Structure formats: structure tokens, C-alpha cells
Amino acid sequence: MLRKHFALFVAAAVLSLAAAGISQSSCPVADATRTYLEEIVPKLVRDTAWVTSNVHFQDRGFALSLFGTDKAMLGAMTLALKCRRPEEFVPTYETFDRGTTSLLQLACEARRNEVINLAVSSTSQHLLSAFHFLRYDATQYSGKVEYRPYPRVDWHTIKFANGKGNFFVSADVSQRLIFTPTGGTPVDLTHVGSLSGRVVNDEPIGATVYALFPSVISSQQPLVVNVDVDQNGVASGSTNASGGTLATISGTAFETAITWQGKCAPAGH
């Protein structure tokens, strides 16, 4: 169902892009918002690369990074048994930070098809629902962060039968993220996306991040992000809107940087 909704959102975004253009007189992304994107996008790339690089044999990676802070759920687990049939295992709840709870749960969706569910919430482990938000003070900026509802990601890993150590990992991302700077107005950093990686002979050979930010441009057109990571860990991509490139993305899988172009480039560049 999530994939269907994501596809519909993409179709709507394409129609919106075709119907309107972006003013060339100034950057359509506010200065502060560009700074926030420079944190969110590299974290999406890092999380995808982390999961992909930690999938081999019976090991499975998981990752969920939060905005405005260095807090993240990054790790790997070793499967005691092979995934042979649909089955859910008992979730693990831990204190993520003061007043927050993290969830980690492994499930078998089908033979050779696992999913690791991650979530961070500010409510009791027994009351997790879509109606609960996650709120905290940012440490990298002055202001408050709010996820509506709490952030969650499901990492799917499929092991192919034709060959040893061949996997495909993926996750659909849908985070309604609002940041309110101290003394300022809320900034809607909501984003949806598709994260994926490939593993051949127990070695990562590539990863891809595709994300849409529907509310960061004043013209209400979505900002589109595409990033590819090759088998050497080199990342490359772009940030686009209305058919034009607003920024390029480069670096490595774990240290990706956004370089803004044209009207969006910092003064003096």
C-alpha cells in the first residue's frame, strides 16, 4: 500500500512540475532550509549505504537517523535461523534518550525475505500508534524538532536463490518532519522516498536514494533528490526542481555533500 501511495505522489509531483516554473530571480529554497537539507540528504545516503554494507551471510544491517541531532539507530544483527516462512519475532525496546523509546523488530515476510522494523517514539512501548509524535530539542540548531507521527523505517532484505550472497535491500521512507527555529516560524521538511542497495557475492555493489520534499520550495513544487553510490563507495547525484538542477551531490557514501548551484550558491561562489 505504501508503494502505491508513493507512486501516486510521484505522478502528482510530475504534473505539478509540468504546470509551473520556478522564478529565476532568486533561489527557490530558503537559506536556512538549504542548511537543513544538507543534513537530511547525507543521512539518507549514509543510512542506505550502512544497511547495504552490513548485509552478508546471516548478517543484516539497520539504520534510522534523526534530524537536528547526532542520535541514530545504526547497527547489524546476525540471524540465528534462516528465514523460511512468515513469522514475527519479539521486538526489543530500549531507552533511546531521555523520554524516548526505540523499537527494533525482525520479521520474516516469506522465504529468504526479511524485514527489520525501526521506530523512535516519546511514548510508552505499549502505546505506539500513528497518533503519537516524537518531539525533542535540536542540538545542531536552536529550535524544536517534531515528527508527526514518530519516525519509522522498515528495511527489507531479499536473498536471491540463484547464487551465494546475492541480496537486494530496500526501504520506503515517509517522514512528516517539522522544525521550528527558536523565535522563528515552522519549516516543513516532510519527505518521502525510496532507498535501495544491491549486494553480490556478499559485497555491496551499489545503493540508490530517491526522495521528494514537497514543501521546501516557496512555489509549492516538490524538490527531487537523486543519489547513486557505486561499488567503490563514491556518491553522485543532484537536487532538482521544475527540470532544473539546483545542486549537485558528491562525496562518499558516508560523507556526502550538497553543492548549491546558480542562484542557490552561497554569495561569493
Task: Please report the pLDDT score of residue 13 as a whole number.
Answer: 38
Average pLDDT, the chain: 85
DSSP letter for each residue of 1-32: -HHHHHHHHHHHHHHHHHH----SSS-SB-HH
Provide the pLDDT confidence category of residue 195 given band limits of 50, 70 and 90. very high
pLDDT given at position 16: 34
pLDDT of residue 92: 85
Min mean pLDDT across 77-86, 121-130, 230-239 is at 121-130
Residues 74-100: what's their mean pLDDT? 82
Most confident of 9-13, 16-20, 56-60, 178-182: 178-182
Taking the C-alpha atoms of residue 175 and residue 147, their distance in angstroms, rounded to an integer, is 7
Residue 145 three-state SS? strand
Choose between 269 and 141: higher pLDDT: 141
Q: Give the 3-state secondary structure of residue 237.
A: strand
What pLDDT, on a 0 to 100 scale, did the predictor assign at position 124? 58
The pLDDT assigned to 6 comes to 38
pLDDT at residue 21 above 50?
no
The pLDDT tens digits of the residues spanning 39-74 come to 999 999 999 999 999 999 889 999 999 999 999 999
> CA-CA distance, 74 to 63, in Å (whole number)?
4
What per-residue confidence (pLDDT) applies to 226? 97
Whether 15 has a pLDDT exceeding 80, the answer reads no
Question: Does a cis peptide bond (omega within 30 degrees of 0) precede residue 149?
Answer: yes
Is residue 2 predicted with pLDDT exceeding 50?
Answer: no
Asked whether the predicted pLDDT for residue 130 surpasses 70, the reply is no
Q: Is the pLDDT of residue 84 over 90?
A: no
Q: Pick from 48, 30, 73, 62: which is nearest to 211 by CA? A: 48
> Is the per-residue pLDDT at 8 higher than 50?
no
248 compared with 220, residue with greater pLDDT: 248
pLDDT digits (tens, 9 = 90+) for 155-167: 999 998 776 789 9
228-237 long-range contacts (CB < 8 A, ≥24 apart) are 229/45, 229/48, 229/49, 229/197, 229/253, 230/205, 230/206, 231/203, 231/204, 231/205, 231/206, 233/49, 235/45, 235/49, 237/209
Show the DSSP H helices in the chain as ranges.
Answer: 2-19, 31-53
pLDDT at 121: 84
The predicted model gives 20-24 an average pLDDT of 41
The segment with the largest mean pLDDT, out of 80-89, 93-102, 108-117, 194-203, is: 194-203
- 3-state secondary structure labels for all residues of 62-95: EEEECCCCCCEEEEEEECCCCCCCCEECCCEEEE
Per-residue pLDDT for 125 more than 70?
Answer: no
pTM: 0.87
Distance between CA atoms of 194 and 212, rounded to whole angstroms?
9
pLDDT at 3: 41
Q: What angle do CA 195, 169, 102 make, to 5 degrees?
A: 75
